A and B are shown apart, each in its own frame.
Chain A
Amino acid sequence: MTQPSGAVSTGANALTLVPKTDEKQTAKHFKTDQEVRWCPGCGDYAVLAGVQSFLPELGLRRENIVFISGIGCSSRFPYYMNTFGMHSIHGRAPAIATGLATSRPDLSVWVVTGDGDALSIGGNHLIHALRRNVNITILLFNNRIYGLTKGQYSPTSELGKITKSSPMGSLDRPFNPVSLALGAEATFVARTIDSDRGHLTSVLRAAAVHRGASLVEIYQNCNIFNDGAYDGLKNPDTRDDHLIRLEHGRPIRFGRDGQRGVRMTTQGQLEFVDVAEVGEQALLIHDAEHAHPGLSFMLSRLEVDGPTPLGIFRSVDRPVYDDLMRDQIETAQARSGAAELQDLLTSGDTWRIG
């Protein structure tokens, strides 16, 4: 897998108000002196390296970048980024980031979270940050397992998963993070994988500049407790049949040499077809910018009985929460002029004695 997703026009830039640097940055500038303490072979290393090597592209002042995480293996991420950072508490990073991003438009605010952090204990904060469209970028490391607590099933583990806390198989159906985010009408939703630096970088680039909440699900291998969860998408012999690379404005094809494709039936359902049989013009064209998230949602469900799509599912412009809040403040200030504290205190019915 080498081709990144197709270019998606991003409209308003998330970073417009963030100060730029003259410093010639490299990945090294974003590394800290802290020893990285993930297990050897963890997919998190690849994502960290990917983020560190991609950030210089943005040309932002390092002090205006903030990484906020929750709890879990991936949430150690901020310690390894030479920016401002906060390793917070379980599930709450989107809420904390909301407060920061809302009060500081000059910052590029990132949330680093995992499948347990974002979808179990923090599920509520995630969906509300997405629906509000706060100007933050959320990296959701999905390894489909609880790693830091040593191997219990997570809200993205497949049904029937045998783990330490589910010796006869897990009983609860998994969340599909992309479906969930689209259900919350997130304005930017993408999925990428730890093993493909090129794809990872292209998705991060689009997410970083998207003004509003961006959710990037990163398939990440936990080689200790859930090794090989994504092997089907990584093995050169099988991956072409198991994944779809979504490209905006392009027909949706997959399989070796793109022999297979996705078509919409007259009943409004998606089906898999042989391109040779139906012709390329019959295929569904991926439109990440469609105003309605319905078709993107259908694409997110293909993996239930077919290949898994990677790439940008949705990228649309919608008013951003923090911009709207700032507008209200500016409007109020313009309407009533300078606010004087003494006037506020005397604003009710007053009387004078003496």
Chain B
Amino acid sequence: MTKQVRQLDGVIVRFAGDSGDGMQLTGDRFTAETAAFGNDLSTLPDFPAEIRAPAGTLAGVSGFQLHFSDHEIMTPGDAPDVLVAMNPAALKANLRELPKGADIIVNTDEFTKRSLAKVGYAANPLEDGSLDEFRVHPIPLTSMTVVALAGLDLGKKEAERSKNMFALGLMSWLYTRPTEGTVVFLERRFAKIPEVARANVAAFKAGYHFGETTESFSVSYEVKPAPMPPGLYRNISGNLALSYGLVAASRLSGLPLFLGSYPITPATDILHELSKHKRFGVRTFQAEDEIAGVGAALGAAFGGALAVTTTSGPGLALKAETIGLAVSLELPLIVVNVQRGGPSTGLPTKTEQADLLQAMFGRNGEAPVPIVAPRSPSDCFDAAIEAARIATKYRTPVLLLSDGYLANGSEPWLLPEVAALPDLRVEFATEPNHVAANGTAEFWPYLRDEQTLARPWAVPGTPGLEHRIGGLEKASGSGNISYDPANHEAMVRLRAAKIDGIAADIPPLQVDDPSGRARVLVLGWGSTYGPIGAAVRQVRRVGGVVAQAHLRHLHPFPANTGEVLRRYDRVVVPEMNLGQLSMLLRATYLVDTIGYNRVRGLPFKSDELAAVIESVLAGSDPQ
């Protein structure tokens, strides 16, 4: 039977099920198939903090959203066009976000009295008419999987476990995805347990063939490949890109990479990833706590390593004193903070941008630290290299502010040519740099480079350069302990001037304003780049005139930032916090901003931001 194939320009799919149902794997595979097909895409996993919340509960629902299209897209999409709900909890948890007319594929086997009661359904929503606004496709996914695997030597429970692959097969048919990659993947992944590999492949194929033959679906869909710049692509998440960026920075600088880290969601995957790359000479040290993680990294930096510590908000708080020491020692150190919802333990698996001021000011004394923030998953690669460049060139700790959305979200990445990456080579001090009063040559650890104000990096093992440094205030030049008031004032100002001076060494803030006559600027930082960009385009499509700019460097700001801000009548700053960038901009430039602030643990929706921009264009302030 040949079915009709309908063309779509883009689709948003969400897989949702119990956290034990394998939804993340299902989403990953659908993403891989979609990437291989050549669509542009963007993904957003959404999972609970509990490893195994009680089965079938709302707390245990794990989701994975994928937006793919035949044109360039910037976000994982606002609301799903298609929901795959593996149980009543997954349906209930996601129903609110579904627009009218959305497709819902439900696993009817799980809609038992008990499961329905568990999430507070008095009646079966598949039967009571409450889903009439949607196109519901009730399919007994579990039992069909068991039937499909009847020929294999598997228990019922084991067979049922492959139901996610049945669902994936069905979705692969529905959206005309290539299937070879998934078959190869499953065979490789379960190579050591061939019966499991066979079961998953069989379930996957059964789901695909079911789509072809069932009358539940009269059409299938096709989303043509997106026109993208030529080159070699892969799909990449932010944490993976960031890890690769650090390995690359190690190669580009010629410095061995040392990571001191303590596991914390959502940063842990960077520790996992880097621990795999020992052949690149990467040393990963899983410390006893956050403080030891950054301490060990600082020790390695003293020894000449490219030193990194990775954490999330609560961990950054614990590292504050050591980062202050790094400011005082003026040693290169990369501090990665994958932000999550706070305060305190907050929302470990949800995203937020509320650590900007902690990054900026979260230390005692005047302790300025450069801040770099990636704007998309693949940009984490370049941002990590940029953080390493600033840290090593200016001998300073650098804060790299990623977040939970970037960390786990993914997008296609046009792979860079290694030869085109920046040269990060550094020179260690090798010679004395000062002549003492008695005429002997000596080494002064705090004699600065006139241009960068960086002090020499003199690593142990260098003859004649023995020196002592510490957290006590040091005399400018000699580095000897000094309690002299004028010297302290001079050193505080020197450390600040060194960081401020980086503004001359970073690109100016670029404004995107195709009309050239915008009076409203939307300014963001970090992971809001995608939703802001999508919203701005949406507004422009209906005739709105608006400019967009995005800050990659939060400290110091690009040199032209004040001038850009003053160019517009109104500046809108959407942030996933209560106005932290706005506060910095107002304080620094005395320019007012219109904050749009939400802290829901989820990225902005582009429709929502488009409405905000429209209202500002219309002259009112958003709430």
Contacts and interface: CB of A to CB of B under 8 A. Distances in A.
A96 B233 contact: no
Interface stretch (B296-304, B518-526, B598-606, B613-621): B296-304
B416 A345 contact: yes
Contacts of B465: 63
Interface in B318-338: 321-322, 324-325, 329
A170 interface: no
Contacts of A34: 468, 480-481
Given A86-B470, A89-B325, A95 B233 contact: no
B95 to A, nearest CB: 33
A83 B230 CA distance: 55
Instruction: Pick from B277, B292, B295, B298 the residue with the most CB of A within 10 Å.
Output: B295
Contacts of A63: 460-466
Contact of A104 (B230, B303, B471, B480): B303
Interface in A51-98: 61-66, 68, 71, 78-79, 81-89, 92, 95-98
A352 B233 contact: yes
B418 A345 contact: yes
Contacts of A95: 260, 287-288, 291-292, 295-296, 299
Contacts of B468: 32, 34, 78-79, 81, 84-87
Contacts of A104: 303-304, 460-461
A102 B296 contact: yes
Instruction: Pick from A61, A63, A65, A97 the residue with the most CB of B within 10 Å.
Output: A63
Interface in B173-217: 181
Contacts of A106: 461
A316 B277 CA distance: 32
A339 B244 CA distance: 13
A34 B296 CA distance: 28
Contact of B296 (A79, A96, A350, A352): A96
B296 A98 contact: yes
A155 to B, nearest CB: 18
A307 to B, nearest CB: 35
Contact of B471 (A64, A79, A87, A99): A87
A264 interface: no
Given A344-B247, A349-B35, A336 B279 contact: yes
Nearest to B32: A349
B231 A92 contact: no
Nearest to A61: B463
Interface string A305-339: 00000000000000000000100110111011001
Nearest to A78: B468
Contacts of B469: 85-87
**Interface size of A as a range:** 35 or more
B539 interface: no
A332 B251 CA distance: 17
B439 to A, nearest CB: 15
Contact of B298 (A65, A99, A101): A99
Contacts of B233: 350-353
A125 B293 CA distance: 10
Contact of B418 (A19, A329, A342): A342
A128 interface: yes
Contacts of A102: 258, 283, 285, 296, 300
Given A63-B464, A350-B415, A353-B230, A100 B287 contact: no
Interface string B275-291: 00111111101011101
Given A63-B461, A63-B463, A95-B287, A351 B303 contact: no
Nearest to B251: A341
A184 to B, nearest CB: 11
B295 A100 contact: no
A9 interface: no
Nearest to A83: B466
Given A125-B288, A344-B247, A345-B415, A62 B466 contact: yes
B516 interface: no
Nearest to B467: A84
A159 B310 CA distance: 41
Given A84-B467, A89-B325, A102-B300, A353 B244 contact: no
Interface in B237-260: 244, 247-248, 251, 256, 258, 260
Contact of B36 (A329, A344, A349): A349
Interface residues of B, number: 71
A354 B281 CA distance: 35
A122 B157 CA distance: 50
Interface string B388-429: 000000000000000000000000000111100000000000
Nearest to A68: B299
Given A341-B418, A345-B415, A349-B235, A100 B302 contact: yes
Contacts of B471: 71, 87-89
A99 B326 CA distance: 14
A113 to B, nearest CB: 13
A56 to B, nearest CB: 15
A257 B464 CA distance: 50
Instruction: Pick from B38, B244, B299 the residue with the most CB of A within 10 Å.
Output: B299
A103 interface: yes
Nearest to A81: B468
B307 A332 contact: no
A97 B307 CA distance: 14
Given A68-B299, A342-B418, A103 B283 contact: yes
Contact of B470 (A64, A87, A345): A87
Contacts of B232: 346, 350-352
Contacts of B307: 99
A34 B280 CA distance: 42
Nearest to A352: B232
A351 B36 contact: yes
A61 B465 CA distance: 12
Instruction: Pick from A32, A331, A335, A350 the residue with the most CB of B within 10 Å.
Output: A350
8 closest pairs, A vs B, by CB? A354-B230, A87-B470, A99-B299, A99-B296, A95-B295, A332-B278, A100-B299, A96-B299
29 contacts: A34-B468, A62-B466, A63-B464, A64-B460, A66-B460, A79-B468, A84-B468, A86-B299, A87-B470, A88-B325, A88-B471, A95-B295, A96-B296, A96-B298, A98-B295, A99-B258, A99-B285, A99-B297, A100-B303, A100-B460, A103-B299, A103-B300, A103-B305, A107-B461, A329-B279, A332-B279, A345-B234, A349-B235, A351-B35
Interface of A: 19, 32, 34, 61-66, 68, 71, 78-79, 81-89, 92, 95-104, 106-107, 124-125, 128, 325, 328-329, 331-333, 335-336, 339, 341-342, 344-346, 348-354
Given A95-B292, A95-B299, A103-B300, 17 more contacts: A81-B468, A85-B468, A86-B299, A99-B260, A100-B460, A102-B296, A107-B460, A124-B292, A128-B287, A329-B278, A329-B281, A339-B280, A341-B248, A344-B280, A349-B181, A350-B234, A354-B229
Interface of B: 32, 35-36, 38, 181, 225, 228-236, 244, 247-248, 251, 256, 258, 260, 277-283, 285, 287-289, 291-292, 295-305, 307, 321-322, 324-325, 329, 415-418, 460-472, 480-481
